[in-house]
Chain A
Amino acid sequence: MRITLTVNGEEHRADDVWEGESLLFVLRERLGLPGSKNACEQGECGSCTVYLDGVTCCACLVAAGQADGREVVTVEGLGTADELHPVQQAFLEAGAVQCGFCTPGLLVATHDLLAREPDPDDAQVREALSGNLCRCTGYEKILDAVRLAAGRQR
């Protein structure tokens, strides 16, 4: 099948997509956007978190066909290496990035949290990020990063 979708503001088309493919596979392997990560492909880790029509979801759980005609924002759409988004900058500075595999998903989830709740308390942050596993940091520095980003966005 053929699907068309807007990713980070740009229209993309993918041909010969097999029905079983996920949005994550299409992004990573067909559109050359590997920023969203494939840590479990079962909806358990949050590494593949993206916006789909403005709502965050696990791209690994979305069938490619379901994304047809819709709008996707990935970590690559938040900011680039040359121009980081304040949330990305805060993760970098706070030491919230070790191996970095969880980072793209956490960035999208944090971006979403701060858009909804610019001044979250720790319990709210924990609840909002509880679907994103990180094996390296123990989460303390991720909390620091969210606090830093929230402080700067205020």
Chain B
Amino acid sequence: MTASPTTSPTTARPTTADGVGTSPPRPDGTLKVAGEFAFASDLWMDDMLWGVTLRSPHPHARITGIDLTEALATPGVFAVLTHEDVPGEKHYGLEHQDQPVLAIDRVRYQGEPVALVAADHPEVARQAAKRIRVDYDVLAPIVDAERALLPDTPHLHEGGNLVRHVRVRTGDPSPRAEVVVCGDFEVGMQDQAFLGPEAGLAVPDGEGGIDLWVATQWLHVDQRQVCSALGLPPDQVRLRLAGVGGAFGGREDLSMHVHGCLLAQHTGKPVKMVYNREESFFGHVHRHPARMHYEYGADRSGQLVYARATIHLDGGAYASSTPAVVGNAGTMGLGPYDIPNIQVDCFGAYTNNPPCGAMRGFGSVQTAFAVEATMDLLAAELGLDPVEIRVRNGFREGSRAPTGQVIDAPAPVAELVEKLRDLPLPAPADVAGPLDLRHLPGGVANSTHGEGVRRGVGYAVAYKNVAFSEGFDDFSTARVRVSVVGGQPVTTVHTAAAEVGQGLVTVEQQICRTELGIERVVVAPQDTSVGSAGSSSASRQTYVTGGAVKAACESVRRLLLTSAATRLGREVDGLWLGPGGAVLDEGGEVTISLVDLLGDDHVEDTVEWRHRPTYPIDEETGQGDAHVQYAFAAHRAVVDVDVDLGLVKVVELACVQDVGRAMNPQAVVGQIQGGSAQGLGLALMEEIQVVDGRITNPSFTDYLIPTILDVPPMPIEVLEHADPHAPYGLRGVGEAPTISSGPAVAAAVRAATGLALPRVPIRPADITAPTSE
């Protein structure tokens, strides 16, 4: 059956336990705590080989020769491959096909894959890779995004170094305001730093096709790119989701996918590839570093009159999702504030720095640092407090975004910040009891006894589009089946939607229970044998795949009730699915059980579901209904800063977020806290340091992510202002908390120190030896 109804003549009546709005345990949780869940790096097969990648040591060079002789002669080596062994398209990419599967005659970033080795032990493969001789003619790297766009800078790609320029223009082009503030801001390069390394297992099927188990965010977009590189049709390249140890955008691009398949095809054996941590830093895209100039004008009451912003994003060597990131940063780069006169220019550039692409918050993280700092400057200039300036200017339902789009759903910016202000503050350090070094900046390092410690409080608001924008055909597919197993009705839900840790599999079960009243729900393994679900990114998966599962359930429910009506010789009207798998009549009496109705048969439907359409923006003005839904959150950070040593201790990080409908309250809070910690990391410690195009800290020793000592208590308040256009009224959750937590922390550090601190992460030296003020 392949009917695709989007509405159903019958409606759900909430009945079963563990449905939408509750927090049942994750179906994959038991295996995960038992250590029995198979992550991608855990895959194993008899007789499998290990694949490794040889990467470029240079950010920019010409390749003048490759000699494989010695590598091939290494005992235990089964294959050594270069670009010549790529049978299909030699380039791939999410939006532009500009990235070579293996470098051809030029490398554009340090770490670019050049050759592959398969061997019977990972160490043998690594040794052999070292014996591949690559001759490079080293070129000067282009390492500055603004300079990359100057007319006389050499081009890294045909067509120049501009990936995309978004212009947004509305209102008076030369407005005047009573109060004007401006600033230059900078955000460093952040890494997703998911814990599960890139990994996969490619298994040749002996007939020219291949099965690939891989940790990813979007099986079908990978499949498309793998097929094109291998020159195979989709039915010969089957992708299956291997356990994913976090993603945060870092698995949207291909990593080992094509490489593993090439090695498997050449050797005829299963090939496993697992990146180590260093290679992981080279093997995925990062968050775009940004340089931003902002100017806001307001009247004396604090009402915004105009905004100007110029944003430069460094896309690195290949486009990846830079066009979409530029779209987001450009169209949403002024935050959730009503501004009548607007002039925004957002540029994404190619450089020889590491490629940048998707990361949680996608373009809004960078701009939020500039927007929220500028709002604080304005508040200070006017003598208003940071909450008040946001209350006066914050979006509400009916506001117009800079794109001209009317926000036709709740947009409770004022409520978010007012609720934060009303939360009790943590006790001041000096009355919190006897001095406990563990709670001071620097902790037990015993670096201070509290002499130079100052406290600060800061606020920030997050604003982010949910799902894909600008006219993208954004859909998901779900197959739902009801059958009888062991004398009990069971719902099976099958999608290609990647569970990356966020808990989608739990929500799919909850939706099925709510719609069909059947307690037992099996989530089938995710693979490409069912239609695309789109990406587990952009906070879209609960919305879009959730919408598809709901629609498929509605169809299956209608089919079940119609079948029951036929069997009973009555009208379908008035019949409904009660708890425990019974068809009930108007009076709630059981007419027939699903077990009797189905017998050995099953009822199934597959549904493709889309959210309402979005539209491209006008090239000259940036106007258009580009986005489908917006997420809003706000943070209040309280910090203690040791101004002598430049050390910061976050004392508390509170968040209020509107989630429309909390589908799984426990998971929602978990997403908010996890996202908040990542924003805290960007504010204070997380940066891939790139010097002359080279990463100097590709390890967890030097790239610091917050530990349990760095993350403070995080009180959360969740609002549920239903979005009338979304399934169940829900709103994407995952990204917003990463957007506002960092600016709130930065604002708190500014409040504590009185310094401008225009750059994040804030380094100790920025506090002890500030370059400004």
Contact = CB atoms under 8 A, between A and B. Distances in A.
Interface of A: 18, 20-21, 28-29, 32-42, 44-45, 47, 74-76, 79-81, 84, 88-89, 91-93, 95, 97-104, 107, 123, 125-127, 129-143
A140 B39 CA distance: 24
Given A40-B700, A92-B25, 19 more contacts: A34-B41, A35-B35, A42-B277, A81-B31, A84-B33, A92-B33, A93-B25, A95-B667, A97-B33, A99-B194, A99-B195, A99-B196, A101-B195, A107-B35, A129-B708, A133-B705, A136-B670, A136-B674, A138-B714
Given A29-B44, A140-B673, A142-B708, A135 B39 contact: no
Ranked 9 nearest A-B pairs via Cβ: A35-B35, A99-B501, A100-B32, A101-B245, A138-B673, A44-B700, A138-B677, A75-B35, A34-B42
A47 B713 CA distance: 23
B35 A104 contact: yes
Given A47-B195, A75-B35, A133-B705, A99 B500 contact: yes
A130 B700 contact: no
Interface in B164-204: 192-197
Given A98-B501, A123-B436, A137-B673, A79 B34 contact: yes
Interface string B272-309: 00101100000000000000000000000000000000
Most interface-central of B243, B246, B666, B708 (chain A CB within 10 A): B708
Contacts of B96: none
B294 to A, nearest CB: 29
Nearest to B713: A140
Contact of B244 (A35, A99, A143): A99
Contact of B708 (A40, A100, A107, A130): A130
Nearest to B673: A138
Nearest to A28: B42
A81 B673 contact: no
Interface string B64-78: 000000000000000
Nearest to A125: B708
A123 B433 CA distance: 14
A18 B124 CA distance: 10
Contacts of B244: 99
A42 B245 contact: no
A84 B277 contact: no
B743 interface: no
Given A41-B276, A107-B33, A138-B676, A133 B23 contact: no
B36 A81 contact: yes
A130 B500 CA distance: 24
B6 to A, nearest CB: 31
Contacts, number: 185
A142 B439 CA distance: 19
B699 interface: yes
Given A99-B501, A126-B709, A92 B36 contact: no
A127 B705 contact: no
B23 A76 contact: no
A15 B400 CA distance: 69
Contact of B195 (A37, A42, A75, A95): A37
B333 to A, nearest CB: 26
Contacts of A143: 708
5 contacts: A34-B35, A39-B195, A98-B246, A133-B195, A137-B674
B195 A41 contact: no
Contact of A98 (B23, B34, B439, B502): B502
Most interface-central of B31, B277, B502 (chain A CB within 10 A): B277
Interface string B117-135: 0000101000000000000
Contacts of B28: 100
Interface in B17-75: 23, 25-26, 28-39, 41-42, 44
A127 B42 contact: no
A126 B709 CA distance: 6
B42 A103 contact: no
A130 B701 CA distance: 14
